[in-house]
Structure 1
Amino acid sequence: LSPHCSTKMKLKEDLNPMLLLLFHLMVWIYTVISFLPSYLFSWVFQPGDGFYGSEEERAKRPKAISTSGRPEGPYRAVSAAKRLVTSLHPGADTLDKMFEYAVARFPLRHCLGTREVISEEDERQSNGKVFKKVVLGEYRWLSYEDTLTAATRLGSGLASLGQQPKSNIAIFCETRAEWLIAAQACFAYNFPLVTLYSTLGGPAVAHGLNETQVTHIITSRELLETRLKAILVEVPRLQHIIVVDDTPTTWPGFPRGVSIHNMAAVQKLGARPENASAERKPPLPSDIAVIMYTSGSTGVPKGVVISHSNIIAGITGMAERIPNLCEEDTYIGYLPLAHVLELSAELVCVAYGCRIGYSSPQTLADQSTKIKKGSKGDTSVLRPTLMAAVPEIMDRIYKNVMTKVEEMSCVQRTLFILSYNYKLEQLAKGYSTPLCDRLVFSKIRSLLGGQTRVLLSGGAPLSAATQRFMNVCLCCPVGQGYGLTETCGAGTISELWDYSTGRVGGPLVCCEIKLKDWVEGGYRSTDKPHPRGEILIGGPNVTMGYYKKEAKNQVDFIVDGNGQRWFCTGDIGEFQEDGCLKIIDRKKDLVKLQAGEYISLGKVEAMLKNCPLIDNICAYANSGETYVIGFVVPNQKQLQVLAQQYDIRGSWEDLCSSKAMEELVLKVITEAALAAQLERFEIPRKICLCPEPWTPETGLVTDAFKLKRKELKTRYLDDIERMYGGK
């Protein structure tokens, strides 16, 4: 049985036989013509030199080995079996040295790019809502030399405003070039950088600022006026606010004792001879670089304390999994820089002289919500070669394309599905499909600019269907990774030639991984056919712990007899024969029903999110009940089509509150769950349809689009009681 059978697309039985015959004839002719070059190519290039062999051959190659020989590990990457790798460049053991190394090598190359805003206008929708639309121009670039100058002047200016080395400074800002410039300034002047998500609510921001006792904060004009201004009275230590935008120059209506400065003015202050010549005290590798506040998916955000050496080790491991990384690459930055995945990815790019063009989820593609119709999105203009994404964004791309496939004519749809399945088979054999790529998939590939060669996925598990779609239709490998803020985002990344799904690859060269028995959940390293248990990550990328949370540090962080730090992730994994890790459960997502069955909420959600009718889903189970329920954000187009089929009319809100629609959607979900081979007790028995999408702004998901279960439970408490019969 082909390993791709579950992800192959099905053809309708009434397809034109002549069309099928014509397609197979074209494939046969192409195969005959390309056979000899491919055969010779496979002899010239051995595995590891660009020719990767069949999927069966690739699956046999070890990605990691247990250094103890025992099933629980620890497991290391084969290339780092004797010694973990901790640095990218000789002597560059802190982040300021790493950036100076890059500037010395690539002084005049593009470093940071921002698109020019040509015009903005309000566009009224048919439902009365008003959306802001923009027309954007070309990217304007700062060279590596320019970026270093801007960062040095900002650091000097902050010092002139009283910011002291080893004293915390906060950044509360959207992802943009100024964010990374500010970070490099803080790294160079040894100001520990407190990062806060731009979507955090007021109480969470105030908590982070007060806990870290910051006196200086870097922010944007919008966040200052809409979020920060309202909580200033709750943060009495704050003295200086540095606004990254150019205007205005005066800020009326703010509390006494708080000075507000434009970033450009602070840089001018730092450029003065008397300030620029002041002695700088650079950091040591063991000094704190970042205190990164988590997005708070399980309560109040925690500050993770990360040293320079931690980040250097983490990005060293990540860089090793990206082949041919060089100054010719272009990266598009749009995920939150306060998230460890985005910050690490951008620092990797800087270390290798890549250029980083900035974007946002609202301007990413031509069809994005803020792009005026007929204008180009950021990917079309930038044409990136490297990109990081969370599964939520890739799932959206997948569903949008598949919806358009359904709308194609019979002939177009047939050709697409035949080409898709043909390419799956060729990928399994280790072959490329340039003809299909050019004739069939080039338009889909152009959604991300047409030049993407590596797509890195992190933040949550990626479904098999979405991963296969990205491999086939976007014509680029997807490196699925696993890591946490507590490990600098580093843990594992699948090797780019490994097209297997449901796995996250072997350990990075900077760390090692072992399994710890979790008897209560029934996971042991002695399990057959694969060892299972809680995942523990150890190595120089494991961070210093939580800020002012000593009791929690004692529980979550362990130091072994060799002095190596380990982080207990709370995730359950299994190691497979080739050393690849598979995430199979999470302690906090496991709920025991009244009858004794364990439900993995994350597993249920991952399986059901592939259903076209579902944009997002949160499974919920009460241990005192006998069944699972769910909150569902339905796909608007698919739900309206379903309503039309059963002649159910009404507004979007009316459809989502309709009992009849709930029953119809539940029937579709049940069919999808059975097809995904969920157990009967895992399938939601009742659901609630939620008309509003869950975005970081609603506070129901994190910036990485992870569910905030506590907030979701609070929001839908009345519905939970209804679905559980008032209990």
Structure 2
Amino acid sequence: MLKKTMDCVGYSGGAMVGLGAATAVTAAAATYYLATRAEPMVTAVDLNNQSVILKDGSRCSHFVKDGKQMQSLYDDVRTTYDCFQRGLRVSNDGPCLGARTGPSKEYEWLSYRQVYDRAIAFGSGLLDLGLKASNDEFLGFYSMNRIEYVVAEQASIMFSMVSVPLYDTLGTTACSFIINQIGITHVVCDKVSKAKTLLDSVETTPSLKCIILIEEVTDELKELAAAAKIDIEEFSVVESKGKANQREPKPPVPTDLATICYTSGTTGDPKGVMLSHQNLISNMSAVAYTALKGVTVTPQDVHLSYLPMAHVFERGMQIVAFMHGAQIGFSRGDVKLLTEDLQALKPTIFITVPRLLNRIYDKILSSVQGSKLKSTLLNMALHAKTNEVKRGVVRRDSIWDQLVFKKVQQTVGGRVKIIITGSAPLGGKVLDFVRAAFGCLVLEGYGQTEAAAGITFNVPGETEAGHVGCPLPCNLVKVVDVPEMDYYATDGKGEICAKGDNVFVGYYKNPEKTAETKDDDGWLHTGDIGEWLPNGALRIIDRKKNIFKLAQGEYVAAEKIENVYMRSEFVAQAFVEGDSLKPYLMGVMVPDIEVVPAWAEKEGLPTKMDELCTCQKLKDVILQDIISVGKSMGLKSFEQVKDIHLHSEPFSMDNNLLTPTFKNKRPNLRKFFKPHITELYEKHEATS
């Protein structure tokens, strides 16, 4: 009977079972539940009082000891160098880095000692190439996540160098800007194609002298490099030469720079966020300390590295793993193969972003559509498990886990004990689903690169969705007035600010932007609008500037995109809107009153604007044209709208959609067009 029912709710199909099966399963589940009723976990903090209000109105974590924000979790870990050394010791030289190689596609591992030895050899090889063991030396990284990336980064750390990631989504112009601004001479690169990209831009990167290629160097690449007067070195050769002439490490001190991590620069050139070892260690110590209130992290734990190492979120999680001697396995870099990698590695720690969890949620719901029995059983299971979650019960051994959720859990390997999600908000329904279906601790955090990743974090055992938890013990958090948006700290609403050892040093060679973001008292002004809830947790409610995040974590500047789209001959005015729970944008276009009627007359269409705005042909033409204009003006794919609504009446001061300076009155436009934007999103969700 149970076998048939499990087949029925399997997400790949299966034989239908009569509705009597659902009744039988309900009775069996009730009996099993009473016999195996689990006790709720004891939370380290009262969930109705999650933060401490200080005299100045700022807030701190209940985990803060003696009024001092956390600097490190362990006395012997003050830098990322110390972090790896601790992992080497507590792991007893256990598995460190793994990748899927060879015909079997099983994960093969390097031990902590092997990684350390390779890193010291590669670092010595860098010195042979002319780099200095100095905190004034910068090493570029242009690679997907892989073992050699970590080896090279650990090498740079051992000799007090500063790592500077480059990544594809920035585009070639931004990569050239970074190389030039810092004066990078050497870049570690994984693929021949990326090396060619760097060589193609060599005229705009005069500081670049050498590309260290992880792949085998081809004859064609040698010729291109010679023509560009750039040295090409193979990673393995640098490592071998360094091994033959090994040097003593020159470890960093906590105040030394560890990395310069560039933000996307949606309103101009990307900004280089300077993060010290102290910034990274204080933040990741606070994250680990908070998470450890709900789970343990040991050398037996495994983390899948698939989020880009160019982002501080993934690199921070690697710091946590190294700190505890845990294991890191790398995905193959193809999102289509991610499920296979998860099932092969079977991680116990899963660091992810809302976009992936949203896909899993959508896939599960769509798999039961069309079957009343499957939908009924899924709803029953969700109801039962959600009630347990609300009681603080975290488990995956209930009858519902066996009958309904086991396959969901197997999609991430079946062993995950903690999921941490960040970089963008996760919808309440999806968060509730993930907590119920995966049967593990699910924590959501909020932060930004300038805070070395996290600012607030859920308390383990949190049962409510819709907020991002309380301050991490490494920083204070407050909200400040934003009068132009009617947000006031006295109402518990305002711009979120953070202060602590995790707050960045500044933007590289950009004191003006640094002063705008970090005030004289050391407070980081995030640009996000938050609200303190009665339980002491923080909720994100708005964005101070016309910049917002999409679900995949990318920032977009609406005004910049609108100005680009208005270059289309068909568009007089544009309004671009996004939803931080969605991976794409929608738009409202006001057609040009002179161009569009003339076009319509040639096409044999009505020339009245209100009639034309209901015409699908015009909508298709305008959408195609603005996308084309966007491409020609350098908009990235995530900055382009997915669909548009046509509006016949121009925005004006009379209809309260424009400011006196003829700028879009965004709050009013958002409210006015909300039904149309919602309809566009619903339309595409229904067809996805």
Tell me the CA shift for residue 687 of structure 1.
8.9
- Decide whether the 8 Å contact of 1:95 with 1:312 is kept in 2: yes
Measure the CA separation in 1 of the matches of 2:543 and 2:448: 13
In structure 2, relative to structure 1, the CA distance for the partners of 1:34 and 1:216 (3 Å cut) is closer
Tell me the CA shift for residue 258 of structure 1.
1.3
SS in 1 for 2:450: helix
Question: Among 456, 478, 494, which residue is 1:533 paired with?
Answer: 494
- Decide whether the 8 Å contact of 2:273 with 2:450 is kept in 1: yes
Could you list the per-position Cα deviations for residues 432-457 of structure 1 after superposition, in whole angstroms to 9, with x for gaps in the alignment?
56111122100111111111111111
Could you list the per-position Cα deviations for residues 337-378 of structure 1 after superposition, in whole angstroms to 9, with x for gaps in the alignment?
010100101111011111000004525xxxx2x58xxxx710
Matching residue's letter, 2:74: H
Measure the CA separation in 2 of the matches of 1:568 and 1:260: 42
SS in 1 for 2:222: coil
- Decide whether the 8 Å contact of 2:188 with 2:212 is kept in 1: yes
- Decide whether the 8 Å contact of 1:197 with 1:295 is kept in 2: no
% same residue: 28
Q: Which moved more, 1:296-305 or 1:447-456?
A: 296-305
1:414-493 to structure 2, matched below 5 A, reads: 414-431=376-393, 432=395, 434-493=398-457
1:10-409 to structure 2, matched below 5 A, reads: 18=20, 21-34=23-36, 38=38, 47-48=42-43, 59-60=47-48, 62-68=49-55, 72-80=57-65, 82-116=67-101, 118=103, 137-164=105-132, 165=134, 166-248=136-218, 251-254=222-225, 255-272=227-244, 275-276=245-246, 278-322=247-291, 323-360=295-332, 362-363=334-335, 368=336, 377-407=340-370, 409=371
Question: Among 491, 495, 501, which residue is 2:465 paired with?
Answer: 501
Could you list the per-position Cα deviations for residues 587-634 of structure 1 after superposition, in whole angstroms to 9, with x for gaps in the alignment?
1238999xxxxxx987x6246x4xxxxxx4314479999xxxxxxxxx
Measure the CA separation in 1 of the matches of 2:270 and 2:175: 9
Aligned counterpart, 1:567? 524
Matched, 1:548 2:509: yes
Matched, 1:605 2:579: yes
Matching residue's letter, 1:400: K
Measure the CA separation in 2 of the matches of 1:578 and 1:178: 45
Matching residue's letter, 1:34: T
- Decide whether the 8 Å contact of 1:65 with 1:78 is kept in 2: no
Tell me the CA shift for residue 496 of structure 1.
2.8
Aligned positions, number: 579
Measure the CA separation in 1 of the matches of 2:617 and 2:59: 50
Measure the CA separation in 2 of the matches of 1:333 and 1:347: 12
Measure the CA separation in 1 of the matches of 2:94 and 2:163: 27
In structure 2, relative to structure 1, the CA distance for the partners of 1:444 and 1:658 (3 Å cut) is farther
Long gaps (5+) in structure 2? 1-16, 548-557, 563-574, 593-612, 652-688
In structure 2, relative to structure 1, the CA distance for the partners of 1:617 and 1:258 (3 Å cut) is closer
Matched, 1:700 2:636: yes
SS in 2 for 1:282: coil
Q: Which moved more, 1:16-25 or 1:544-553?
A: 16-25
- TM-score of the pair, normalised by structure 1: 0.73
In structure 2, relative to structure 1, the CA distance for the partners of 1:288 and 1:243 (3 Å cut) is same
SS in 1 for 2:36: helix
- Decide whether the 8 Å contact of 2:262 with 2:270 is kept in 1: yes
Measure the CA separation in 2 of the matches of 1:466 and 1:691: 31
Could you list the per-position Cα deviations for residues 9-40 of structure 1 after superposition, in whole angstroms to 9, with x for gaps in the alignment?
xxxxxx987556434422332243235xx5xx
- Decide whether the 8 Å contact of 1:315 with 1:344 is kept in 2: yes
Aligned counterpart, 1:524? 488
Matching residue's letter, 1:415: L
SS in 2 for 1:65: strand
Matching residue's letter, 2:42: P
Matching residue's letter, 1:306: L
- Decide whether the 8 Å contact of 1:173 with 1:198 is kept in 2: no
- Decide whether the 8 Å contact of 2:588 with 2:645 is kept in 1: no
In structure 2, relative to structure 1, the CA distance for the partners of 1:261 and 1:226 (3 Å cut) is closer
Matching residue's letter, 1:539: G
Could you list the per-position Cα deviations for residues 192-218 of structure 1 after superposition, in whole angstroms to 9, with x for gaps in the alignment?
111112333111110000000011111
- Decide whether the 8 Å contact of 1:189 with 1:280 is kept in 2: yes
Measure the CA separation in 2 of the matches of 1:400 and 1:213: 46
Aligned counterpart, 2:475? 511
Aligned counterpart, 1:578? 535
SS in 2 for 1:289: strand
Q: Which moved more, 1:500-509 or 1:420-429?
A: 420-429
Aligned counterpart, 2:679? none
SS in 1 for 2:357: helix
In structure 2, relative to structure 1, the CA distance for the partners of 1:467 and 1:259 (3 Å cut) is same
Matching residue's letter, 2:260: I
Matching residue's letter, 1:395: N
Tell me the CA shift for residue 175 of structure 1.
1.3
Measure the CA separation in 1 of the matches of 2:627 and 2:378: 33
- Decide whether the 8 Å contact of 2:591 with 2:647 is kept in 1: no
SS in 1 for 2:223: coil
Could you list the per-position Cα deviations for residues 27-75 of structure 1 after superposition, in whole angstroms to 9, with x for gaps in the alignment?
332243235xx5xx57xxx8248xx9xxxxx642x2211122x6x4233
In structure 2, relative to structure 1, the CA distance for the partners of 1:606 and 1:172 (3 Å cut) is closer
Matching residue's letter, 1:353: G
- Decide whether the 8 Å contact of 2:79 with 2:278 is kept in 1: yes
User: What is the RMSD computed on CA atoms of the aligned residues?
Assistant: 3.5
Measure the CA separation in 2 of the matches of 1:221 and 1:345: 25
